[in-house]
Amino acid sequence: MKKITVIGTGYVGLVSGTCFADAGNDVTCCDIDQVKINNLSQGIIPIYEPGLKELVHKNVRSGTLHFSANVPQAILDAEVVYIAVGTPMNSTGEADLTYVKQVAKTIAENLNGYKVIVTKSTVPVGTGRLVEKVIRKYSKDQHPFDVVSNPEFLREGSAIKDTLNMERAVIGATSEKAFQIIAELHQPFTSNIVKASLETAEIIKYAANAFLATKISFINDIANICERVGADVTKVSAGVGLDSRIGNKFLQAGVGFGGSCFPKDTAALLHIAEDCGYDFKLIKAVIETNEKQRVHLVEKLVNSLGELKGKTISVLGLAFKPNTNDIRSSPALDIIPYLAEQGAIVKAYDPIAIVETKKQIGYQCSYTENAYEAIKGSDACMILTDWQDVKNLDLAKVKQLMNQPLIVDGRNLFKLERMQELGFTYLSVGRPAIQKDAVISKAI
């Protein structure tokens, strides 16, 4: 059992802290945002993440999880201090380290004995060393400490599962002692520990996210070729994914990736490459393909519908992926304002991300309580998130409700044969277009 303080109660901090508490450690999650801490202390969770609320409540009740806005005190009490503050992307695509540096200084000022300081935030290579330097400077070398890079690989929507049953823990430590302490913390979660240097651990995080983003952009490029030659990308994914060297995950073609990690981390990796004088062409192409994919989906809509002015368009899905209310870099945030700008009347639906979307793009569209309400009377429907309740739509009812049966599906949710039978014009990604009333040869 260790006394752990986690600084920053965002996604990563809150989930990691809660899971460490669940494994029997004494954890204090702290934040300078007093309102957030007050809410958390009352069991109000600022993010939607399946299972998180229950796990927080359980560990608060059992006394292993605490919340505090008194960051210095929480540091004084801890053996291990996790830095899990935000590293937002600045205008040039670089990760902004202001918060990380501030926290490192606060840690230095409250160092009262040996502590392991761990960076959990996704940070550029060299940040671990920078944290070490800042702490050394402000603590005036009065107490021993070690710095560790222990990057996070959890996915939103399955963050608890991903943490409690992680596939691996990457631990880049400045001493064997610190490595052992952090490795022990991870024993309940995984036996796959990758021991590395600080810099290597930092690169592993970027390499993992950039590789996954590359898989997505790659399959989206293949999808665009499939559209030109009349092939079906979902079968291509299945066909190549069965090769165990490739694997079938992250090969789902669609409107492209969003979220808080892939767009930010690919941009940051490009910066890291530029900073060390390397022209990382591949990652540039990954980013560009992803940006174009949103435009491509809108082009499909325009090619089929003609002028958008005065047309009613329903948009299903605002979150960047299902099971989260996170809309950061979500395709909807680009697509809805564009449709509205062209004079379309946009009706949007999402099971849980409407409040966040309103804050971001306001009333450039109207919002509905269910998908059918959005669909009712629309000239076209765009699907942007693969929510289960969108997958489960009664398609016959959808057709009946629409002004004209045109669906542009950025997530390939429905079978082509079914859409053809029902008489939709159905434009998906990397699959043959289904034209209403047209007789097309049956897909194999």
**Residue 261 C-beta: closest distance to ligand UDX, Å:** 3
Amino acid at 291: E
**β 345-349/169-173 pair status:** unpaired
**Residue 9 C-beta: closest distance to ligand UDX, Å:** 17
The answer to whether the Cα torsion of 282, 288, 293, 296 is positive or negative is negative
Stretch that binds ligand UDX, among 36-44, 153-161, 221-229, 393-401 (CB under 6 A): 153-161
**Residue 259 lies near ligand UDX (rule: CB under 6 A):** yes
Closest listed residue to residue 382, CA positions, set 440, 416, 339: 339
Residue 318, Cβ neighbours under 10 Å: how many?
Answer: 31
- Residue 159 annotated as binding? no
What span, in angstroms and rounded, lies between the C-alpha atoms of 198 and 182? Answer: 13
**Residue 287 C-beta: closest distance to ligand UDX, Å:** 13
Stretch that binds ligand UDX, among 14-22, 240-248, 249-257, 390-398 (CB under 6 A): 249-257
Amino acid at 323: N
- Residue 399 annotated as binding? no
What span, in angstroms and rounded, lies between the C-alpha atoms of 419 and 364? Answer: 30
Question: Residue from 4, 154, 375, 390 that binds ligand UDX (CB under 6 A)?
Answer: 154
3-state secondary structure of 280: coil
Closest listed residue to residue 443, CA positions, set 416, 410, 409: 416
Q: Which of residues 202-231 bind ligand UDX (CB under 6 A)?
A: 209, 212, 216
Burial of 55 (0-12, 13-18, 19+ CB in 10 A): buried
CB closer to ligand UDX out of 256 and 405: 256
**Residue 22 C-beta: closest distance to ligand UDX, Å:** 19
Check 261, 276, 365, 381 and give the catalytic one. Answer: 261
CB closer to ligand UDX out of 170 and 216: 216
**Residue 258 lies near ligand UDX (rule: CB under 6 A):** yes
Question: Residue from 321, 350, 371, 381 that binds ligand UDX (CB under 6 A)?
Answer: 321
Stretch that binds ligand UDX, among 49-57, 250-258, 347-355, 365-373 (CB under 6 A): 250-258
Question: Residue from 67, 189, 262, 367 that binds ligand UDX (CB under 6 A)?
Answer: 262
**Residue 320 lies near ligand UDX (rule: CB under 6 A):** yes
- Give catalytic status of residue 276 as yes or no: no
Query: Each residue of 219-253: b (16+ CB within 10 Å) or e?
Result: bbbbbbebbeeeebbbebbeebbeeeeeeeebbbb
Burial of 276 (0-12, 13-18, 19+ CB in 10 A): exposed
Beta bridge partners of 28: 5, 66
- Residues 197, 176: contact at Cβ < 8 Å? no
**Residue 251 lies near ligand UDX (rule: CB under 6 A):** yes
Amino acid at 255: V
What span, in angstroms and rounded, lies between the C-alpha atoms of 168 and 152? Answer: 10
Torsion of CA 331, 333, 334, 339, to 10 degrees: 110
CB closer to ligand UDX out of 264 and 311: 264
**Residue 166 lies near ligand UDX (rule: CB under 6 A):** no
Active site residues: 261
User: Which residues line the annotated binding site for NAD(+)?
Assistant: 31, 36, 87, 122, 156, 264, 328
User: Which residues line the annotated binding site?
Assistant: 31, 36, 87, 122, 153-156, 205, 250-254, 258, 264, 321, 328
User: Which residues line the annotated binding site for substrate?
Assistant: 153-156, 205, 250-254, 258, 321
**Interface with ligand UDX by CB under 6 A: which residues?**
152-156, 209, 212, 216, 250-252, 254, 257-259, 261-262, 320-321
